[in-house]
Amino acid sequence: MKFTSLLATAAMALGLATGAMAEDKTKVGFVYVGPVGDGGWTYEHNQGRLAVEEHFGDKVETVFVESVPEGPDAERVMTQMALEGADLIFTTSFGYMDPTINVAKKFPKVKFEHATGYKQAENVSVYSARFYEGRAVQGTIAGRMTKSNIVGYIGSYPIPEVIRGINSAFIHARKVNPDVQFKIVWAYTWFDPAKEADAAKVLIEQGADVILQHTDSTAPQAAAQAAGNVITFGQASDMAEYAPLPRVSSIIDNWAPYYIARTQAVMDGTWTSTSTWDGIGPGMVGIGEISDAVPAEVKAEALALKDAIASGAYHPFTGPLKKQDGSDWLAEGETADDGTLAGMNFYVEGIEGDIPN
C-alpha cells in the first residue's frame, strides 16, 4: 500500500515536472480518422504535422492519435490531449464535429481546429479545402476519357462535402460528354480497403471504366489496375504509385501552410476563431500531374479549367443549373454561394438515385 502510494506520488511529481518543462513549448495535437500510412487523407494531414515540426523545430511539440473512431472515442482522445497540455488540437474528420465542440466547452483555454465541419465556437475554428474545384477538373477528364459512358463513384458518407464533389464532377463530365452516367455506391466508411476494393470491383463489373473515389485508401486504385482499362484519380494524396495507369491525375490536399500559420497564431497569441475554406487558388487543393495516358488536348482542356478556377475567373457551380427534381437552382451566369455549398444536400439534374438520409 505504502509502496503504491509512493509510486503514485513519484509519478505525479514526474508528471508535474515534465509539465513544467513543456511549458515553453507549444504543444499541437492531431486526431486522425485513419492510419498515417493510408496513402490518402490521413497521410496528408500527417505531412502537415511533420511540416509544422520542421518549421518550428524545438519551439513546438506535436502529438497525434491515429485510427480514432468518429464518436465517443474521439471525445476521450481529445480530452486526453487537452489534459496533457495541448495548446492547439486539430481534429481532422467530419465526424469529429460534435465531439470537438463538446470537448472545447470543457477546455476554454485550448484552441481547437475542426476540418470539414461547420460548427464554430469561441475556441473552435473550422477549416476545409474546396475539393469540389478539383472534382471539376476530374469530371472533365472522366467525361472525355470514358468509353462506356459509365463513371463509377465511391462515396463515403452522404455529407455535404461528398455530395458537392459528386455534383461538381458530374456537371463537368456532362459538359464535355452529354451521354455520361454516374453510378454511385456509398461505402459508409472512410477507410476499409477490402470494402473499397469490393465497391470498385462492383462498379467495374457493372460497366464503369472510370472510378472516382471519396474514400481514403488506395484499394480502389489496385482494383482498377487488376481489372485493366479503367482509369482512376488519386484522392486526398497523389497516389502516384498507381500512375500513369490507372491513376491519371489526383486531388492533393496541402494542409501544411495552414497548420503552420495557425500554430504561429497560437504562439503569437493572435489566434481567433475563424472559418477557412480555400481552394486551388491559395494552394490548399493541388491537382496532381496529369499522366500521359490522357490525350494532350484533354490534358490542355483540364489544365485550362484548373487555371480558370485558380484565378477566380470561373466557379465550378455556375448557372444555369437545375436540381435533380427539375426545379431551378442557379440562373444563367449565377454562381452558388458558400452557404448553399456548405450545406449541400441535393443532386443536380441528371444524376440518378437518391441521397441516403
- Which of 9, 206, 274, 345 is close enough to bind other proteins by CB under 8 A? 206
- Which of 54, 122, 205, 328 is close enough to bind other proteins by CB under 8 A? 205
Peptide bond into 246 cis (omega under 30): yes
Residues 266-325 that bind other proteins (CB under 8 A): none
Stretch that binds other proteins, among 29-37, 110-118, 289-297, 324-332 (CB under 8 A): 29-37
Q: What is the DSSP letter of 68?
A: P
Q: Rank residues 26 and 232 by Cβ distance to other proteins and give the closer one.
A: 232
- Which of 202, 227, 260, 342 is close enough to bind other proteins by CB under 8 A? 202
Sign of CA dihedral 357, 252, 213, 131: positive
Contact 77, 91 (CB under 8 A): no
**Which residue type, as a one-letter code, is found at position 54?**
E
- Other CB atoms within 10 A of residue 125 CB: 21
- Other CB atoms within 10 A of residue 339 CB: 9
Q: What is the DSSP letter of 326?
A: S
Task: Render 130-175 in DSSP notation, one character per residue.
Answer: -HHHHHHHHHHHHHHH-SSSEEEEEESS--HHHHHHHHHHHHHHHH
User: Smallest distance, Å, CB 41 to other proteins?
Assistant: 12
Q: Rank residues 223 and 290 by Cβ distance to other proteins and give the closer one.
A: 223
**246 lies in the binding site for other proteins (CB under 8 A):** no
Spell out, one character per residue from 158 to 197, where the chain touches other proteins: x when CB under 8 A holds, - when not: x------------------------xxxx-xx-xxxxx-x
User: Smallest distance, Å, CB 96 to other proteins?
Assistant: 18
Q: Rank residues 113 and 192 by Cβ distance to other proteins and give the closer one.
A: 192
Q: What are the grid coordinates assigned to 65, written together? A: 492519435
User: Smallest distance, Å, CB 223 to other proteins?
Assistant: 7
User: Smallest distance, Å, CB 192 to other proteins?
Assistant: 4
- Which of 45, 135, 144, 201 is close enough to bind other proteins by CB under 8 A? 201
Helices (H), 177-315: 193-205, 219-227, 256-268, 296-311
Contact 185, 153 (CB under 8 A): yes
**217 lies in the binding site for other proteins (CB under 8 A):** yes
Element (H, E) at 276: strand 275-278
- Which of 14, 16, 226, 300 is close enough to bind other proteins by CB under 8 A? 226
**219 lies in the binding site for other proteins (CB under 8 A):** yes
The alpha carbons of the chain give a radius of gyration, in whole angstroms, of 22
User: Smallest distance, Å, CB 253 to other proteins?
Assistant: 18
Beta strands in 71-110 (DSSP E): 88-91
Element (H, E) at 220: helix 219-227
Q: Could you give the CA distance from residue 286 to residue 42 in angstroms, rounded to a whole number? A: 16
Chain residues in the site for other proteins (CB under 8 A): 34-39, 67, 152, 158, 183-186, 188-189, 191-195, 197-199, 201-203, 205-207, 217-219, 222-223, 225-226, 241-242, 352-354, 356-357
